[in-house]
Amino acid sequence: MINASEHLHYRAVASDDEQFALNTALAYNLSLDAARRAPWSVASDMRRGLYRNGRLVTQCALYPLRVAHGGGGTIPAGGIGLVATPPEERRRGHAARLLREVCDELRSRGTPLSLLSAQRRSFYWRYGWATFYEARRFSGEPALFAPFRAQRAGAWVRLDDSESAVAELDAIYRGALRGRFGPLERTADWWQTRVLLSGDGSPRRAYVWRDDVGHGRSYAIVSVESSERGRLLQCREAVALDPQARAQIFAFFSAFEDQCIDVVFNAPADAPVQALMPDPLQCAMMPGLMLRIVDVAQALEAHSFPREVAGRLTLEVVDDWLEHNNGVFALEAEGGNVRVRRLDAAMEADMRCDVRTLTQIYSRYLRPRTAAAFGLLDVRSRPALALIERLFAGLAPYASDRF
């Protein structure tokens, strides 16, 4: 419970405040030395905390991110990570207070979305975050990929973590995931410390496939890891620009037949991987990052929509934590954009939902018709439902980053 008499102050955490690393080490089962190194360490301008009498009582990292909206552009988002509270300060409402302060900061600087990777999803769901995509995790023996050897062409090249290597990887990454909501815009530093390094700071191996004229068209970032059954080829990311380039990835997996018992990789929920395989792989659905709309009007106006869809609908949003999101909004769509106006709260809207459902519709994770069928979207106008269905049509969302 929050003690109203406590005077807690929200501010950036100074670089010399050792409590940040101590809290990180304790919360994430790290050594103090590991908590001070990438990818766990963060710049002081990204550290946030609540202080009482000069002591840090809860903390997080606040990453300035940009999320692809699927229309060729990005939306600013605040990534929340490294949430940690020392044991003696837990169960006092500090983390909830910190999240609220972070949301207020994001809104004040025009950042309409917040992302986080949750260990306890129910805790963040309580405050309006919702899972916004699922990934399919495939696994199988390397020999299952052997039929793709017949399609081998070009050459695989191992890359280092230089700027030129990162630039080549990034061009493939952006091209292959175009049209999806969710992929993060990656800086060179993000590639080097978050993608090409594992959680313990050890390097991953990055390979790019180049066609016969030297163009990079797919890549795989992998590591060989031990398990109870034997060694696994863990694929951090496998991305291809086209079917031929994707076949090269599968042929590449087959090359580990004598070294690993299984290959493990993720793909978007709508990727027809099993349709490509002569023999099926094991498959599990994995929940992805959580997303929150911090400001409804800002978020909708920052999104991208099909240019051919035009029309008007009204939507009532219920947000039991961020009061400024409550209300009735008019959405007027034209030319790929939506203009949003707040209407009289007493007006009956075409449809009504809470902020979590809106977040999942917004990311294209949840189809509006499906939401209506399951009672998550209260629809009072069938034409409005048809319009919002067309507005949020598109590929399934996906991201492959954690923070």
pLDDT at 318: 98
Q: Decide if 9 contacts 56 (C-beta within 8 A).
A: no
Fold of 294-391: Nonspecific Lipid-transfer Protein; Chain A (3.30.1050)
- Which segments of 85-211 are extended strands (E)? 113-116, 130-131, 134-140, 155-159, 205-210
CA pair distance 401, 190, nearest whole angstrom: 10
Q: What share of the chain is helix, strand, coil (3-state, %, to 5)?
A: 30, 30, 40
pLDDT at 114: 98
What would the 3-class secondary structure string for 334-374 be?
ECCEEEEEEECCCCCCCEEEEHHHHHHHHCCCCCHHHHHHC
Q: Cis omega (within 30 of 0) on the bond before 272?
A: no
Q: Which residue's structure tokens are 């699927």?
A: 70
Dmax over CA atoms of the chain, in Å, equals 71
For 57, phi then psi, to 5°, come to -110, -20
For 202, phi then psi, to 5°, come to -80, 145
Q: For residue 140, list its beta bridge partners.
A: 263
The matching CATH number, chosen from 3.40.630.30, 2.40.128.130, 3.40.50.11930, 3.10.450.30, for 9-111 is 3.40.630.30
Could you tell me the pTM of the whole model?
0.94
pLDDT at 2: 44
Q: Which residue's structure tokens are 């990570």?
A: 81
Supply the CATH classification number for the domain 135-287.
3.40.630.30
Query: Do the first three CATH levels of 135-287 and 294-391 match, i.e. the same topology?
Result: no
CA pair distance 36, 330, nearest whole angstrom: 48
- The DSSP annotation for 299-332 comes to HHHHS---TT--EEEEEEEE-SS-GGG-EEEEEE
pLDDT at 157: 98
CA pair distance 216, 238, nearest whole angstrom: 13
Residue of 100, 94, 92 whose CA lies nearest to 323: 100
Using only C-alpha atoms, the chain has a radius of gyration, in whole angstroms, of: 23
pLDDT at 4: 46
Q: Decide if 98 contacts 56 (C-beta within 8 A).
A: no
pLDDT at 1: 41
Residue of 384, 394, 388, 324 whose CA lies nearest to 350: 384
pLDDT at 37: 83
pLDDT per residue rounded down to tens, the chain (403 residues): 444 446 899 999 999 899 999 999 999 999 999 888 867 788 889 999 999 999 999 999 999 999 999 999 999 999 999 999 999 999 999 999 999 999 999 999 999 999 999 989 999 999 999 999 999 999 999 999 999 999 999 999 999 999 999 999 999 999 999 999 999 999 999 999 999 999 888 999 999 999 999 999 999 999 999 999 999 999 999 999 999 999 999 999 999 999 999 999 999 999 999 999 999 999 999 999 999 999 999 999 999 999 999 999 999 999 999 999 999 999 999 999 999 999 999 999 999 999 999 999 999 999 999 999 999 999 999 999 999 999 999 999 999 999 8
Which structure tokens are listed for 200? 């313990």
pLDDT at 11: 96
**Residue-range domain boundaries for the chain:** 9-111, 135-287, 294-391
